[in-house]
Amino acid sequence: MRHGRGLAATPTEPPVSSFPSLRAALLSNDEAARVIVFEDIELQVRIGAYESERHAPQRVRVSAELLVVPAAPLGADRLAEVVDYDAIHRDIAALAGAPHVDLQETLAERVAALCLKPRDVAAVEVYVRKVDVYPDCRSVGIRVLRTRRDA
């Protein structure tokens, strides 16, 4: 357990933040929405801008919230009616085998693009963080928010 700088002893990270403004806009327009949450997908990724980071993969955690605005209400209890979580998870996990990237921002943008592939996903917030960078810090990372119009 790490202690210092007021860090909690628990290894858990706070969840990815919500979409309060997007949710409010949807509710004001009486639109139905769902939020798919992937929390702390752990990957070994070749990432880092410094020479010392180019020799081995680093442990990275990826979280994402996908705001889903379905074209129609859920008609039946069938997988074909919803966004395929498995495909998104598989695409994110495949980034572990991707070529080296320098920046967490680049990785986060790639995750966001993967999450926006299904047509019913209106927006995504991605949180990417390296967890073994600083001894006095649980993680260091970046959040990006993308909407369908950004894609």
Looking at residue 67, the DSSP 8-state letter turns out to be E
1 located within any domain: no
8 located within any domain: no
What is the number of structural domains in the chain? 1
128 located within any domain: yes
89 located within any domain: yes
The enclosing domain of 96 has a CATH number of 3.30.1130.10
d(CA 128, CA 89): 14
13 located within any domain: no
Strand partners, 87: none
**pLDDT by residue for the chain (151 residues), tens digit each?**
333 444 444 445 544 455 565 556 555 556 678 899 999 999 999 999 999 999 999 999 999 999 998 888 888 888 888 999 999 999 999 999 999 999 999 999 999 999 999 999 999 999 999 999 999 999 999 999 999 875 5
pTM higher than the cut 0.85: no
pLDDT of residue 7: 43
112 located within any domain: yes
pLDDT of residue 54: 93
Range of the domain at 96: 20-150
Distance of CA 150 to the CA centre of its chain: 16
10 located within any domain: no
137 located within any domain: yes
